[in-house]
């Protein structure tokens, strides 16, 4: 995944349980693809070895843009939960993504107006119902548009590391990191799971085979209240039929 792709759209992250692969395989540390036809892999070694030289090199490349740097933390968070991560370009279609055999797909963050991203929206629409789909920030908005929801520009964007968000399922208030200027309009077609306590906007929704959050659970440094979102993705991978039969 190149920084150009990260700026125009986030990334698709396909997640698969480590336990489904050979225990003798040597896991590669976090790297970023150098061309749109290559994909990146993250394994447990990357999560455990912060000082590994290849990981440091990947982080240096990711720091070319703030969006890319934030996205680089997502694979590391998923790897820490014990799942393998493949990072593929944002311009891959559903067929190419499904060929990787994912247990789940996460649409990552990125900048700009989500409504203009017609191709990624169509890709996510094609993925829904075939594989569990998750979204973070821009990915949350794209998934909403794929479901037929609307997005709108906020009068004042959400920026900062101390935005209170209520988890409507648990009643818990999360302190979250946010950096977005658009939001998904509330609709009765999906279950809203999280709302902003500052302005009441939708901060997450869920349904059969999908779940999203508008904020950044991968934030580092930042509050860790939202890390359970990655546990949700890992649990989905482990409960996949292909994992249960392996």
Q: What is the CATH number of the domain that holds 230?
A: 3.40.50.880
> Which residue in 16, 84, 203, 218 is the catalytic one?
218
Domain membership of residue 98 as a residue range: 3-241
How is residue 127 annotated by DSSP? H
User: How far apart (Å, rounded) are the C-alpha atoms in residues 70 and 176?
Assistant: 14
Residue 246 placed within a domain: no
Number of structural domains (the chain) is: 1
Q: Is 5 a catalytic residue?
A: no
Q: Quick one: what percent of the chain has pLDDT higher than 90?
A: 61
pLDDT of residue 221: 76
Residue 67 placed within a domain: yes
Residue 190 placed within a domain: yes
Residue 114 placed within a domain: yes
Residue 87 placed within a domain: yes
Of the listed ranges 16-20, 82-86, 214-218, the least confidently predicted one is: 16-20
- pTM confidence score: 0.75
> Which residue in 17, 84, 216, 237 is the catalytic one?
216
User: How far apart (Å, rounded) are the C-alpha atoms in residues 118 and 5?
Assistant: 15
Residue 183 placed within a domain: yes
Quickly list H helices, 9-137: 44-48, 53-62, 66-80, 94-98, 118-127
Higher pLDDT, 21 or 183: 183
Torsion of CA 108, 35, 128, 46, to 10 degrees: -50
200-208's contacts with Cβ under 8 Å and 24+ in sequence apart are 201/154, 203/165, 203/176, 204/140, 204/165, 205/140, 205/144, 207/147
> Which residue in 17, 30, 81, 137 is the catalytic one?
137
Q: How far is CA 218 from CA 48, 101, 109, 148, 214, in A?
A: 16, 24, 10, 27, 12
Residue 43 placed within a domain: yes
Q: Is 237 a catalytic residue?
A: no
Q: Is 218 a catalytic residue?
A: yes
User: How far apart (Å, rounded) are the C-alpha atoms in residues 94 and 49?
Assistant: 32
In the predicted structure, residue 227 carries a pLDDT above the cut 90: yes
């Amino acid at each position: 995944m190149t920084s150009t792709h990260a700026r125009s759209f986030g990334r698709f992250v396909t997640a698969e349980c480590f336990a489904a692969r050979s225990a003798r395989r040597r896991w590669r540390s976090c790297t970023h693809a150098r061309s749109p036809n290559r994909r990146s892999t993250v394994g447990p070694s990357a999560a455990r070895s912060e000082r590994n030289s290849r990981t440091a090199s990947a982080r240096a490349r990711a720091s070319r843009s703030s969006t890319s740097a934030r996205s680089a933390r997502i694979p590391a968070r998923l790897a820490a939960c014990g799942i393998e991560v493949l990072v593929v370009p944002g311009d891959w279609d559903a067929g190419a993504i499904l060929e990787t055999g994912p247990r789940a797909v996460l649409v990552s963050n990125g900048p700009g107006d989500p409504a203009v991203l017609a191709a990624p929206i169509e890709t996510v629409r094609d993925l829904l119902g075939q594989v569990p789909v998750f979204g973070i920030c821009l990915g949350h908005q794209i998934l909403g548009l794929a479901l037929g929801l609307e997005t709108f520009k906020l009068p004042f964007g959400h920026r900062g590391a101390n935005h209170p968000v209520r988890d409507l399922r648990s009643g818990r208030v999360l302190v979250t990191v946010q950096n977005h200027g658009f939001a998904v309009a509330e609709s009765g077609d999906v279950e809203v799971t999280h709302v902003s306590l500052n302005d009441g906007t939708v901060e997450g929704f869920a349904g059969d085979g999908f779940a999203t959050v508008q904020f950044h659970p991968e934030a580092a440094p930042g509050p860790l209240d939202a890390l359970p979102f990655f546990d949700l993705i890992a649990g989905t991978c482990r409960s996949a039929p292909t994992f249960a039969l392996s």
